[in-house]
Structure 1
């Protein structure tokens, strides 16, 4: 398991969001540790390898675990070996109320999109809470 921090600038604002990233391989041994990290997260992201159908299939199990532990999740190369088609993944994501991002770390394609979406969602949630608290004064 690897934990890191990524700073993301929010476009059209002077704000920056720090995303605390926990890369936990989808193995049962990590369930207990990752669930402890899910205590009221601002946003979560499911990631799978498009060359491995079983990893994609396990997303449903992980999403179910996430939904039982959190209040409202917001959820993202080797093209020649692709086992999960983009349309299939997009359909699954949409049917679960999630966004889908297809990226390539190897080609550095669209790798910032999931971070931008997570940061924007967290920033919007933060802004709404600030406005709510300001309305109480």
Structure 2
């Protein structure tokens, strides 16, 4: 049992059919559930999962907000984005449109946190479709680096590397929390 549990809101964004819900559900179920039939997310779906922070006795409870990708739902979705602790931008490696919209999604989330830096990741999903891939790892890494994000590749369908971006975000969130504690201690 962890000594301390921090709670943080993780906003998951990207175009429709990029695999945001599949990535979220596979992570939440510890790889035991891949959604076989696609139901479009309407608004926001929320799930929680606790992630232990390596080399500590602490954990981060992630409140994962899986956001609808359709513009139709944007006004409803953005209400859930107040004060996110971290952001995950997901794109489909077989879709240029999906990749090209990452900047738009990232800007939308960041516009709700004008002066606050939050940990973020760029997730290239559907790497199991390598024969149809149109976005190279190099392009993904360059976009991530130029936008202050960490880059990850995964396949929700194959349940491959899905945990890593969430664990990275939890660890970074925890690190920022510890830095704030040290800062406040230095003021005392």
Structure 1 unaligned regions, length at least 5: none
Q: Indicate the residue corresponding to 1:40 in structure 2.
A: 83
Distance 1:133 1:8 in 2: 25
Structure 1 residue 72 displacement after superposition: 1.8
Structure 1 residue 101 displacement after superposition: 0.5
What RMSD in Å do the two structures reach over aligned CA positions? Answer: 1.6
Check conservation: 2:68, 2:74, Cα contact below 8 A.
Answer: no
Structure 1 residue 47 displacement after superposition: 0.9
Matches within 5 A, 1:1-137: 1-70=44-113, 71-75=116-120, 76=123, 77=126, 78-137=129-188
Query: Higher strand fraction: Structure 1 or Structure 2?
Result: 2
Check conservation: 1:66, 1:73, Cα contact below 8 A.
Answer: no
Query: Higher helix fraction: Structure 1 or Structure 2?
Result: 1
Distance 1:123 1:34 in 2: 26
Distance 1:25 1:135 in 2: 42
Is the alpha carbon distance of 1:25 and 1:83 closer, same or farther for their aligned partners in structure 2, counting shifts above 3 Å?
farther
Structure 1 residue 55 displacement after superposition: 1.0
Check conservation: 2:68, 2:77, Cα contact below 8 A.
Answer: no
Structure 2 unaligned regions, length at least 5: 1-43
TM-score, length of structure 1 as denominator length: 0.89
Structure 1 residue 33 displacement after superposition: 3.0
TM-score, length of structure 2 as denominator length: 0.67
Check conservation: 1:50, 1:56, Cα contact below 8 A.
Answer: yes
Runs of 4+ off more than 3 Å: none
